[in-house]
Amino acid sequence: MRVIVIGASAGGVVAYQRLAASLRPNFPCPILIVQHIGAHLTRLVYILRHRGPNYAVAARDGMVPQAATIYVAPSDHHMVISAREIRLNRGLKENHARPAIDPLFRTAALEFGPGVIGVVLTGMLDDGAAGLKAIKDCGGITIVQDPHDAPEPSMPLSTLAKSNVDYMTTINKLAELLEKLVAMPVEDVMVKPLPSLELEHAASVGDNAMQKLKAIGKPSTFSCPDCGGVMFELNEPGPARYRCHPGHAMGLLSLVATQKEVADDALWTALRALQEKEAGLRRLAESTPPALPRHSDLLTEADALASAAATLRALTVGEPRQAQTQAV
């Protein structure tokens, strides 16, 4: 059986519309797509339903993929394949996304092997790179949007760095390429998945995760920016990828981007605490007679906090460091 799985992030809504409009009616195999939408409501299903001749539907748990249908991962749910059915779950985020591309690609590779055609389209960071490699390793066909054609080339570039992709194409030529590929016969013999892929899948669903991670990776120097757990660096070629035992997973680009968000939040919290303490000290100085040594001590400490706050503010918003002290 043939199945097509496609993932996109920034710029993906327009790309999906162009693809849906280009596909011929009664397309001969199902298409499952992930668009990074997080927990937000989306009208992507209705847009695709009216843009092309094939029916688009929000994926529901237990659906069996059918030809001439585009299945869209719903908001805040991973869409995966199990026993050749669509399953939805609210498992932990991968590459800081839910729905994420990698879980769909990974499970499609394990279920359909050479019958999978995987496509990574425009998007930021590196979701989809590991998943497309899993499809390649299981004998499937892999496609990436030409980075020069993508509004956001990071995901295509990350995918090209991770594995030897079969085809690179523009969004305008993608439908034509898919038409040719789905007409090709599927190998009857399933390619045995790499043990590491099966172990990672087991770890992702919580099956003795720590032991599975020890078998396919080693503890890194990083803690998970989402939960604080130890991140294991997976033993695989290409750009580094990480997974913690609770279930978060991310490539190096996603890890750094998430760390930046966490660091920014911590800096703003620290800045607020410094500013509030400075204000408290200055208010206390106002109620302390100037003749007492305590008055000048309070102002000295407040000035030191103002200087520290200016340094932190420069880190958070890029403003020049300049302590703002108040005259009393």
Tokens of 302: 């407040």
Window from 124-138, 282-296, 306-320 with minimum mean pLDDT: 306-320
CA 23 to chain centre: 27
Residue 89, beta-bridge partner list = 78
In this predicted structure, what is the pLDDT of residue 113? Answer: 94
Q: Is 264 helix (H, G, I), strand (E, B) or coil?
A: helix
Based on the residue annotation, tell me whether 127 is a catalytic residue of this protein: yes
Q: Pick the catalytic residue: 127, 137, 149, 226? A: 127
Q: Pick the catalytic residue: 9, 154, 158, 254? A: 9
Q: Where residue 264 falls among pLDDT bands split at 50, 70, 90?
A: confident
Instruction: Name which of 38, 19, 15, 29 is nearest 121 in CA terms.
Output: 15
Q: Which has more confidence, 324 or 68? A: 68
Give long-range contacts, CB 8 A cutoff, 24+ apart: 286-289. Answer: 286/328
In this predicted structure, what is the pLDDT of residue 9? Answer: 97
pLDDT in tens, 170-216: 999 999 999 999 999 987 666 788 899 999 999 998 888 899 999 99
Q: Where residue 268 falls among pLDDT bands split at 50, 70, 90?
A: confident
Question: What angle, 0 to 180 degrees and rounded to 10, lies between the N-to-C axes of helices 12-22 and 171-182?
Answer: 50
How many CA atoms lie within 13 Å of 259's alpha carbon, on the beta-carbon side? 11
pLDDT in tens, 218-243: 999 999 998 999 999 999 988 999 99
Question: What angle, 0 to 180 degrees and rounded to 10, lies between the N-to-C axes of helices 129-137 and 101-112?
Answer: 10
pLDDT in tens, 82-118: 999 999 999 999 999 999 999 999 999 999 999 999 9
Cα 38 from Cα 97, distance rounded (Å): 6
CA 287 to chain centre: 53
Tokens of 107: 């499970």
Q: Pick the catalytic residue: 36, 77, 245, 248? A: 36
If one counts every other C-beta atom within 10 angstroms of the C-beta of residue 169, the result is 17
Mean pLDDT of the chain: 92
Q: Which residues in 13-48 are b (16+ Cβ under 10 Å) and which e?
A: bebbbebbebbeeebebbbbbbbbbeeeebebbebb
Q: What is the pTM of this model?
A: 0.85
Q: Where residue 325 falls among pLDDT bands split at 50, 70, 90?
A: very low
Cβ pair 238, 162 in contact under 8 A? yes
Q: Is 196 helix (H, G, I), strand (E, B) or coil?
A: helix
Q: Span 138-162, mean pLDDT?
A: 97
Cβ pair 151, 176 in contact under 8 A? no
In this predicted structure, what is the pLDDT of residue 327? Answer: 36
The answer to whether residue 133 scores a pLDDT higher than 80 is: yes
Cβ pair 92, 248 in contact under 8 A? yes
The answer to whether residue 145 scores a pLDDT higher than 50 is: yes
Fold (topology level) of 3-182: Rossmann fold (3.40.50)
Based on the residue annotation, tell me whether 36 is a catalytic residue of this protein: yes
Window from 48-52, 58-62, 66-70, 289-293 with minimum mean pLDDT: 289-293
Q: Could you tell me what percent of the chain has a pLDDT over 70? A: 96
Question: What angle, 0 to 180 degrees and rounded to 10, lies between the N-to-C axes of helices 129-137 and 154-162?
Answer: 40
Q: Span 19-45, mean pLDDT?
A: 96
Q: Where residue 312 falls among pLDDT bands split at 50, 70, 90?
A: confident
